[in-house]
Structure 1
Amino acid sequence: MGNDAMTAEERLVATINLQPVDRVVCAPIIEQNAGQHVGITNKEFMWNWETAQTAIHKLWEDYPVWDCNAYLLHGRIGPVATKCGPGRFKMPGKELEDNAQYQIHEFETMTRDDYFIIKDKGWTEFRLTFLERAHQVSRVEVLEGQQEMVRLRQDEINRSLARGQSLTWGAIMGTIPFDALSIVRSMERFYKDMYQIGDQIEELMWIVNDAIIAGSEAAAKTTGINRVFVGGVRGAGQFISKKNFERFVWPYLKVMVEQLAAKEIVPILHFDADWTKNLEYFLDLPKAKFVLELDSATDIFKAHEILKGHCSIKGDVSPALFTVASPSELEEYAKKLITTFRNGEGLMYSSGCNMPMNARHENVKAFFDAVEKYGRYN
């Protein structure tokens, strides 16, 4: 194993700033795969915090080149997820088999008449209403779950720092407004609303946008980490036209990134699905003030071609390479990915979204080994 000349935090900050580093940042999203790595069921992993954290730490001990933790578990662990998780969960050992992957089910939690709640009382109030409905729990239980989630978030941060890791983000702020509304309304009905009451949707999305920006600022102060997760899927060119993207997605995203940048907060744009058609828009965002994270649906090499010298890009070893490919096939892709980005062009080497729970152990090893083989610059 090579010698690191930078700390994990120094390496991450330099990567975001498009500056040279000693080696590539290694920042996969490791969640349920950690339990499989140590040979426990997903029920054990998803319902016992200490058991899960022990598994995650063991994976890091086996692959210490993993220097940047893109953690998520505090909002997905069973006792929290079933009170205030981002949707209605089906969990291993409960609705699912003991070693099944958890599922998040979408349904119409919000009717068109409910839009007035956002307009009259704000997005934060409606989120509480949504969580009550999604999980069929009381307001008290939602708030208790959120308090526990904050406590566990800090524990995840502390454990990561104690290992010498950096944190990809300090808090998960949800999604861009387009996704935030379509999740609670359901995708099918929200797209219908977009065409039938588009003016109202635009007005509501500014309320959501302001709430996400304010929440990001508060979270950065609480955690001491000036990076936040902001998700996006449904506003991609894969799903909507350029006309609707320019009306319902881009204005809010642009303002969000600009205002967060003005506050020295870096949004990690975790954008699943295929954004290839939208890549040139990101050139209008502040240079070296955001990270574009891709899940392997977007052409990351096209993203590099268009955005190199403008922003850091995170990704993008696909689930298929972890699960059905051979280790050599994964290594071949990892080599191409890592060597396409020159030192100072901002690659954050990662899985395409979560590392699959059922990733082959030999492929996981190939993923980490690629950092030493192809990702050192010093």
Structure 2
Amino acid sequence: MNQLSSKERIDKAVCLEKTDRTPICLSGDFAFFHYAEPSAVTADYVEKFPWALDRALDALKQMKHVDAVSVLGIAPGKSLGAVWMSKTRLPGIELPRDASWQIDEVACMKVEDYDVILDKGWKYYQNYYFENYLELTEEDLIAGGKYMAYTDQKLNEIGCVNMTPMMAPIIYDSLCAGRGIVNFSRDLRRMPEKIKATLDVMQEEMIADFRRDLAAFQQRCPGEKIRVGIAPAVRGNCDFLSREKFEKFVWPLLQAEANAVLEIGGTPYFHMDANWTPILDYFKEFPANRCIFDSDGMTDIYKLKEILGDRMCITGNASASLMALGTPDEVYEETKKQIADFGPTGFIMSGACTLPHNTKPKNLDALIAACVE
């Protein structure tokens, strides 16, 4: 087989077709920066952005064989936690200079606020929450995405695919985080119909905006097949919900987002943190050879292959502990094992969610070598 471009390699993997080698998709902005600047600390990525972003992009050039990246180019700032209705703690500011940035859940939503959302809508309430509880301005919210177009351009220049140029809205987890996991779990038991009505209002507003953004992308990039990240986050899975509650409160949201992408010929990229093993069968509803299921190691990847492997592309799980603490030989052997177990078709090698900040550069080299050889 002739050597494929990264885009061709990813597209063939999605269609469960044979590729010239195992595709590689990685996420980990600071891990890339650290590859190019081994002495750097996380505060450098915050304080020296966008220089640090350029160094991360330089690292991808040096690594050569990374086919795709996800969620690169977001400027780390105080709005990082906004999608989870939460504050952000940053290294060098609220945290030590070598700490990882953190989402600080504040859970300020009151029980009577469900009625505010039902009466005035989600966007009204979200703006109120941002201004009064998170102290976020419109400028803060825009700042995080300031360099996304620049990042897309640079990735295109080096032939690396942006796996998720768009992300679908996070609906369920926004409400859950705003209320707080303990309070929200109680609300699910005490007032399930009010929560369902609130989620319906949120879905209507947020999916309308999402469809508008998809249409705008089509206008900007006519004929391009978009991949869209669908990340329900970590509260709507079977670590927290029964199948019955998942089907009632979460599944309609995932269906609406995925179907909006599929209707325009796009590829839903299900970024599924936490444990989805007992409810994988729901995802058989979506058409074959059109989707990617990206788990983070908490979902049983062997069950994932068994249930969805004949219809969805799946991604590998090089665990955070392996990439940070393992040896290059261990990374190489684990990568080879996953390629043998889950390839050769419909498989993309990846980290388990995002590469940790202390990923060893030589471990990245080992993962890539195992895919290329």
Of 348-357 and 107-116, deviating more is 107-116
Structure 1 residues 315-351: Cα deviation after superposition (integer angstroms, max 9, x where no partner)? 311111112222222222211211223333x212111
The one-letter code sitting in structure 2 at the alignment partner of 1:213 is I
- Name the residue aligned to 1:253: 254
The one-letter code sitting in structure 2 at the alignment partner of 1:242 is R
- Name the residue aligned to 1:376: none
Of 127-136 and 279-288, deviating more is 127-136
- Name the residue aligned to 2:23: 25
- In the TM superposition, what are the counterparts of 1:229-308 in structure 2 within 5 Å? 229-232=229-232, 233-308=234-309
What is the deviation of 1:4?
Answer: 6.9
Report the Cα distance in structure 2 between the residues aligned to 1:273 and 1:84, rounded to whole angstroms: 18
The one-letter code sitting in structure 2 at the alignment partner of 1:166 is V
Preserved CA contact (<8 Å) 1:83 1:145: no
The one-letter code sitting in structure 1 at the alignment partner of 2:22 is V
- Name the residue aligned to 2:139: 144
- Name the residue aligned to 2:105: 106
Quick one: structure 1 residues 179 and 154, their matched pair in 2 at CA, closer, same or farther if it must change by over 3 Å? same
What is the deviation of 1:24?
Answer: 2.1
- Name the residue aligned to 2:226: 226
Preserved CA contact (<8 Å) 2:230 2:258: no
Of 41-50 and 145-154, deviating more is 145-154
Preserved CA contact (<8 Å) 1:47 1:79: no
Number of residue pairs matched by the alignment: 364
Preserved CA contact (<8 Å) 1:33 1:357: yes
5+ long unaligned stretches in structure 1: 374-378
Of 126-135 and 24-33, deviating more is 126-135
- Name the residue aligned to 1:316: 317
- Name the residue aligned to 2:178: 184
> Is 2:332 the counterpart of 1:331?
yes
Preserved CA contact (<8 Å) 1:322 1:364: yes
The one-letter code sitting in structure 2 at the alignment partner of 1:332 is E
Quick one: structure 1 residues 180 and 290, their matched pair in 2 at CA, closer, same or farther if it must change by over 3 Å? farther
> Percent identity between the aligned chains?
24
Preserved CA contact (<8 Å) 1:326 1:363: yes
What is the deviation of 1:103?
Answer: 0.6
The one-letter code sitting in structure 1 at the alignment partner of 2:190 is Q
Structure 1 residues 259-278: Cα deviation after superposition (integer angstroms, max 9, x where no partner)? 33123233222111111111
Structure 1 residues 117-155: Cα deviation after superposition (integer angstroms, max 9, x where no partner)? 332333333332333245323xxx2x2233333432212
The one-letter code sitting in structure 1 at the alignment partner of 2:63 is Y
CA RMSD of aligned residues (A): 2.3
Preserved CA contact (<8 Å) 2:270 2:291: yes
> Is 2:201 the counterpart of 1:203?
no
What is the deviation of 1:84?
Answer: 7.8
Quick one: structure 1 residues 155 and 128, their matched pair in 2 at CA, closer, same or farther if it must change by over 3 Å? farther
Preserved CA contact (<8 Å) 1:220 1:228: no
5+ long unaligned stretches in structure 2: none
Q: TM-score, normalised by structure 1?
A: 0.88
Report the Cα distance in structure 2 between the residues aligned to 1:182 and 1:82, rounded to whole angstroms: 14
What is the deviation of 1:93?
Answer: 0.7
Preserved CA contact (<8 Å) 2:85 2:105: no
Structure 1 residues 49-107: Cα deviation after superposition (integer angstroms, max 9, x where no partner)? 22221221221122111120212441x52265388886311101101111211111112
Preserved CA contact (<8 Å) 1:84 1:146: no
Quick one: structure 1 residues 168 and 132, their matched pair in 2 at CA, closer, same or farther if it must change by over 3 Å? same
Quick one: structure 1 residues 130 and 357, their matched pair in 2 at CA, closer, same or farther if it must change by over 3 Å? same
The one-letter code sitting in structure 2 at the alignment partner of 1:178 is Y
Preserved CA contact (<8 Å) 1:323 1:360: yes
SS at match of 1:293: strand
Quick one: structure 1 residues 279 and 136, their matched pair in 2 at CA, closer, same or farther if it must change by over 3 Å? same
Quick one: structure 1 residues 215 and 336, their matched pair in 2 at CA, closer, same or farther if it must change by over 3 Å? farther
Structure 1 residues 226-282: Cα deviation after superposition (integer angstroms, max 9, x where no partner)? 222221221211222122122222233223323331232332221111111111121
Quick one: structure 1 residues 270 and 92, their matched pair in 2 at CA, closer, same or farther if it must change by over 3 Å? same
